[in-house]
């Protein structure tokens, strides 16, 4: 009697073949298309910290004040799809207790805008498509900026400082947990004050009372830059800066007034930390599943199921029906009709 192939054997064989095909497809086709800088970004990060700033109304420096930095990044989806790059518009405001309640970037203590154009695979800046540095530099440079590259390495990265309008080397400084989630920590400084521009102010502010208005030199330094990035995605889950901005007489070599300074640092708020960590967890898990977990587990499992299912299918097959014999080895005789 012929044996029939079990449906379970066919199901196992089909599942095994499916997993064998799926593993390399995910690793070599799907992952490269998922591992890209997104072009639907619309997010805001908030920093707060104590410091001092120059109050233009009173013409005095106010100390021990809460300083707030808000950076919003919005993707230009149309230009991104058209160019094949990530085109991102970034707006950064610095507020003091007087300007923060106004909730208007035009009335902020400081406001800068940038237009980033990024290669979606490498995270490197691309110099096209209306790129705007927001300052004196011709182009944005460096390996890291709004984020780090995918698969962050434990080495020094060149990070774009939009206030300095240049890159700052950030060295790998070990791992650090943010909201219970471990990232890679990078640190650096702008030790020597660098001239970043000029500003028209009353001469008396910079020690030149005989002149009503002067174009004073604006200088910038930063005593501590700390960024913590998610290793797999490059998302920045924590940031802290300690900026110092001052004014000097035209051509002078000493600070005359402090515009903005935070010695203790301005860092991500708790809410921003949680939001960045949650997003990093989600994105990292997706990339791990597509690029590592499913291919590494699915490949061997698919091979095992294919072999087992094939064995069951072959076992269930037989040749032509064998002739049935009686217990004594004689073929049964036909029964005559009565």
Confidence at 62, pLDDT banded by 50, 70, 90: very high
- Report CA-CA distances (Å) from 236 to 22, 233, 254, 272: 32, 9, 35, 11
In the block, tokens 């100390």 appear at 63
pTM: 0.82
Distance, in Å, from the CA atom of 269 to the CA atom of 337, rounded to the nearest integer, reads 98
- CA 133 to chain CA centroid, Å, is 19
- Compute the chain's Rg from CA coordinates: 33
The residue that leads in pLDDT, 34 or 170, is 170
Q: What share of the chain is helix, strand, coil (3-state, %, to 5)?
A: 25, 40, 35
| Residues near 16 by beta carbon (within 8 Å), at least 6 away in sequence | 301, 302, 303, 304, 305, 306, 307, 308, 309
Are residues 79 and 103 in contact, defined by beta-carbon separation less than 8 angstroms? no
What is the tens place of the pLDDT at every residue in 125-153?
Answer: 999 989 999 888 999 999 999 999 999 99
Distance, in Å, from the CA atom of 75 to the CA atom of 31, rounded to the nearest integer, reads 22
Confidence at 73, pLDDT banded by 50, 70, 90: very high
User: Poorest-confidence range of 34-43, 149-158, 311-320?
Assistant: 311-320
User: Poorest-confidence range of 28-37, 120-129, 157-166, 325-334?
Assistant: 325-334
Reading the block at residue 253, the tokens are 């070599």
Instruction: Using the predicted structure, report yes or no on whether residue 157 has a pLDDT greater than 60.
Output: yes
Instruction: Using the predicted structure, report yes or no on whether residue 301 has a pLDDT greater than 60.
Output: no
Look over the chain and give the mean of its residue pLDDT values, rounded to a whole number. 86
Strand-pair category, 266-268 with 60-75? unpaired
Distance, in Å, from the CA atom of 334 to the CA atom of 8, rounded to the nearest integer, reads 38
């Amino acid at each position: 009697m012929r044996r029939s192939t079990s449906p379970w054997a066919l199901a196992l064989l089909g599942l095994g073949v499916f997993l064998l095909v799926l593993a390399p497809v995910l690793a070599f086709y799907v992952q490269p298309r998922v591992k890209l800088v997104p072009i639907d970004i619309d997010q805001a990060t908030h920093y707060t910290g104590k410091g001092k700033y120059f109050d233009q109304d009173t013409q005095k420096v106010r100390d021990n004040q809460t300083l707030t930095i808000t950076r919003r990044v919005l993707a230009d989806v149309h230009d991104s799809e058209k160019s094949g790059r990530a085109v991102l518009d970034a707006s950064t405001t610095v507020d003091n207790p007087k300007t923060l309640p106004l909730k208007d970037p035009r009335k902020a203590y400081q406001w800068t805008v940038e237009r980033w154009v990024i290669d979606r695979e490498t995270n490197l800046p691309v110099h096209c498509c209306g790129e705007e540095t927001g300052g004196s530099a011709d182009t944005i440079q460096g390996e890291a900026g709004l984020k780090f590259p995918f698969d962050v390495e434990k080495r020094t990265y060149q990070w774009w400082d939009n206030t300095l309008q240049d890159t700052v080397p950030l060295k790998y400084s070990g791992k650090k947990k943010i909201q219970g989630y471990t990232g890679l920590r990078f640190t650096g400084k702008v030790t020597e004050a660098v001239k970043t521009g000029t500003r028209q102010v009353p001469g008396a502010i910079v020690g030149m009372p005989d002149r009503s208005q002067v174009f004073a030199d604006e200088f910038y330094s930063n005593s501590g830059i700390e960024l913590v990035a998610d290793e797999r995605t490059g998302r920045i889950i924590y940031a802290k800066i300690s900026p110092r901005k001052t004014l000097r007489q035209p051509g002078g070599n000493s600070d005359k007034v402090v515009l903005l300074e935070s010695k203790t640092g301005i860092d991500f708020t708790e809410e921003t930390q949680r939001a960045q960590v949650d997003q990093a967890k989600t994105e990292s898990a997706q990339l791990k599943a597509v690029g590592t977990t499913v291919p590494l587990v699915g490949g061997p499992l698919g091979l095992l199921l294919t072999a087992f299912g094939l064995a069951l299918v072959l076992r269930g097959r037989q040749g032509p029906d064998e002739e049935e014999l009686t217990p004594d080895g004689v073929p049964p005789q036909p029964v005559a009709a009565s």
